Structure 1
Amino acid sequence: MFHAATQKPGPASPPTKLIAMTDIPTARDRLRDLILELAVVRGKVTLSSGKEADYYIDLRRVTLHHEASALVGQVMLELLDNAGITFQSAGGLTMGADPVGTALMHVAAREERAIDAFVVRKVQKTYGMGRQVEGPDVAGRDVVVLEDTSTTGGSALTAVEGVRKAGGNVKAVAVIVDRDTGSKERIEAEAGVPYLFAYSKDELGLE
């Protein structure tokens, strides 16, 4: 008679470590970290508005970064969705807004949402088709004007004016970082649309 060999139990497997959801950084948290790591430059600088500041936020180091770009699109799309802004196209004044618009467009496409991007020239072309707003036509469409950051609101207002001249219906202005230097008040007063931002300077620990 044959007897099956008794198998001795092996060492117990270590318990599986469950990762709490709070341990996984959200897209918003990760983008904030990348902004602080890559974009914030300390020291006296003169901004494009002519104002002086103790720091400079070079957000192109973020919006053109291989990891951060998709996060920018996700965070900005969520910002607009949470505010109830519906739109068909997004963009702003070249060149700070350009990668923000394309990042948002690509994230929307990943979610099977048809949102185009556009680029607003600082001045209208005097040759070719004579356009100021490049990309799919914005005429008759709901659009959002984007910026990477804003100090006085001047760039965003130039973009709003260009889009409206091209027949677009501006629903909101949205920026990644607000410097809390009056852009919100000026844009909402002059453009008559909501001004949204993903991060305040206080949230980034900037004085």
Structure 2
Amino acid sequence: MTDRDRLVQLISDLAVVRGRVTLSSGEEADYYVDLRRVTLHHDAGPLVGRVMLTMLDNAGIEFEAAGGLTMGADPVATAMMHQAAAQQRALDAFVVRKKQKDYGMGRQVEGPDIAGRKVVVLEDTSTTGESALTAVEAVRAAGGDIRAVAVIVDRDTGAAERITRQAGVPYLYAFSKTDLGL
């Protein structure tokens, strides 16, 4: 079984919750994909890192750092960083706060400096694209050169089009809702 096949199975088994839910966007849906059940899982986390790296590499995206809005992107970036290290590849992770700190260093983007570096903005799943766009804005303000926005699961609800249009960068996803049988 390939990493991709195993990961889609784990997402279906662990993360897909059926029933009426309200999403972070405020919209209602008949299912919820709780990807923290996967990104923080001992078997699935490493698969997330490998699948996301492979997807970005296959798309020809060059990048030196990856991260996004806390909290959905944090374990994705960390999984990618660890899997890159296992491949003898340097990849830094970063975290984007929802708003800039008003104390300490006053940063909104935490981790190694991304100014002037090629970066990918991550999200675990996307409905409206709002979280990714918030991260894009912060990363650009911090001087990051955004090469793409990448998510594990795209809900096919307009996020791809919105992000591509507003951020002006490619939008990639590892799995669609169809891949999950939704």
TM (norm. structure 2) is 1.00
Corresponding residue SS for 1:29:
helix
Larger Rg: 1
2:35 is aligned to 59
2:26 equivalent to 1:47: no
Letter of the structure 2 residue corresponding to residue 110 of structure 1 = A
Match of 1:150 among 110, 115, 126: 126
Instruction: Give the superposition deviation at 1:147.
Output: 0.3
Query: For the aligned residues, what is the CA RMSD?
Result: 0.3
Cα distance in 1 for residues equivalent to 2:88 and 2:62? 15
1:87 equivalent to 2:63? Answer: yes
Q: How far apart, in 2, do the equivalents of 1:100 and 1:202 lie? A: 21
Number of residue pairs aligned between Structure 1 and Structure 2: 182
Structure 1 stretches of 4+ moved >6 Å = none
| Unpaired segments ≥5 residues, structure 1 | 1-24
Does 2:178 correspond to 1:202?
yes
Same amino acid, percent of matched pairs: 76
Q: Which runs of 5+ in 2 are unaligned?
A: none
Q: Which residue is equivalent to 2:76?
A: 100
Q: CA deviation at 1:203?
A: 1.1
Q: Which residue of 2 aligns with 1:186?
A: 162
> What is aligned with 2:111?
135
* CA–CA separation in structure 2 for the residues paired with 1:40 and 1:131: 34
Q: Which AA in structure 1 matches 2:72?
A: G
- 1:135-160 deviations in Å (ceiling 9; x for gaps): 00000100000000000000000000
Q: What letter corresponds to residue 64 of structure 2 in structure 1? A: Q
Distance 1:73 1:203 in 2: 19
